[in-house]
């Protein structure tokens, strides 16, 4: 997933949520499901005789795990995450040590001058405090490892069947190229080894696959039953929870998440309610040198942030003159 697993981070500081809805779900968020792929030659009849969908997923998972470790490409991109608290827009750069990010807008409004200074100071602290940068790197690695555990479970956790084809669209695969749809449902014989994989036992949905590139273009799943953890003592996720990840081609053969959504409710430790709704959209994705350092990424962010602020100011002037 080309560093995807190192980017998508969503922190819910609760024991149950940290295993399910942690940073790996939204950054790649559920980037946990972006590791299956297959696309067959165009045909109006599902080619079930020639290729087994479960085998396609198993082969693709092996390929995607390898690709995620190769780390062939790093990117600069914009992220807008919307929750019940509002929307936060960041510009981010994937560096060798970790992913650097700077906030540029709240609820669509550019930062004030003081907020801009505070954001830059926050970034600089990573350079003056190696321990903080190392802590950030370790957390991203924990998220990536958790993601890979889910990825490895995909072939065994679900049963797959063909469900037609559709064309890729902006943000989903490569626009205009065919994608294969596979419906999935829980495998009744699957025994999850830990709470991390437990969520898979109650989920059904659809995968859009690109076999030509061995990538997943989209996955959308719904919890069709309540999923408990720790024999129900630690908590549960309610039936009806929804997960979505869309994946797009960048350049010739690099892939990046374009959109993630998590909408779940549940209980933690029997009594504490969990309500979480998050949508994150990624745009303006550009490749950067693979060997870029965190310090270099910060300098790049400062320049991008200044351009964003200037463009926002110019847009504000145009809007005022148009009224």
What does the pLDDT look like over 104-117, one tens digit per residue?
999 999 999 999 99
The average pLDDT across 293-321 equals: 84
Q: What percent of the chain has pLDDT over 70?
A: 79
Give yes or no for residue 29 having a pLDDT over 60. no
* Residue 148 vs residue 63, higher pLDDT: 148
Answer whether residue 149 shows pLDDT above 60.
Answer: yes
- 281: Cα within 13 Å, side-chain hemisphere: 10
Q: Which residue ranges make up each domain of the chain?
A: 4-322
**Range with lowest mean pLDDT among 33-47, 49-63, 271-285:** 33-47
Average pLDDT, the chain: 80
For the entire predicted model, the pTM comes to 0.78
Choose the weakest-confidence range: 18-22, 49-53, 144-148: 18-22
- Whether 220 has a pLDDT exceeding 80, the answer reads yes
Mean pLDDT over residues 185-195, rounded? 91
Residue 187 clears pLDDT 80, i.e. is over it: yes
Q: Residue 94: is its pLDDT beyond 80?
A: yes
> Would you place residue 68 in the very low, low, confident or very high pLDDT band (cuts 50, 70, 90)?
confident
Q: Is the pLDDT of residue 3 over 60?
A: no
The band of 227, judged by pLDDT with boundaries at 50, 70 and 90, is: confident
Cross-strand bridge partners of residue 105: 89, 110
State residue 52's pLDDT score: 86
- 1 has a pLDDT exceeding 70: no
pLDDT of 5 above 50: no
């Amino acid at each position: 997933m080309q560093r995807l697993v190192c980017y998508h981070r969503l922190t819910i500081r609760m024991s149950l949520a940290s295993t399910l809805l942690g940073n790996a779900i939204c950054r790649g968020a559920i980037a946990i499901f972006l590791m299956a792929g297959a696309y067959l030659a165009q045909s109006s009849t599902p080619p079930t005789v020639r290729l087994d969908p479960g085998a396609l997923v198993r082969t693709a998972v092996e390929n995607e795990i390898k690709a995620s470790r190769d780390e062939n490409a790093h990117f600069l991109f914009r992220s807008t995450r919307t929750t019940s608290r509002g929307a936060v827009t960041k510009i981010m750069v994937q560096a060798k040590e970790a992913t650097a990010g700077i906030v540029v807008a709240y609820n669509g409004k550019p930062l004030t001058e003081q907020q801009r200074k505070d954001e830059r100071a926050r970034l600089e602290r990573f350079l003056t405090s190696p321990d903080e940068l190392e802590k950030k790197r370790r957390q991203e690695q924990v998220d990536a490892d958790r993601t890979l555990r889910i990825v490895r479970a995909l072939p065994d956790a679900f049963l797959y069947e063909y469900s037609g084809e559709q064309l890729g669209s902006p943000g989903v695969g490569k626009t205009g190229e065919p994608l294969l749809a596979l419906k999935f449902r829980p495998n009744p014989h699957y025994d999850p080894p830990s709470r991390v994989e437990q969520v898979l036992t109650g989920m059904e949905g659809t995968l859009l696959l690109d076999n030509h590139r061995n990538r997943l273009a989209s996955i959308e799943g719904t919890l069709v039953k309540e999923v408990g953890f720790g024999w129900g003592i630690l908590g549960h996720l309610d039936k009806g929870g929804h997960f979505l990840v869309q994946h797009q081609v960048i350049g010739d053969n690099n892939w990046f998440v374009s959109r993630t959504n998590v909408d779940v409710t549940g209980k933690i430790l029997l009594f504490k309610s969990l309500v979480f709704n998050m949508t994150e959209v990624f745009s303006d994705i550009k490749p950067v040198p693979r060997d870029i350092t965190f310090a270099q990424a910060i300098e790049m962010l400062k320049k991008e942030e200044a351009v964003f602020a200037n463009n926002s100011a110019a847009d504000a002037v145009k809007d005022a003159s148009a009224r």
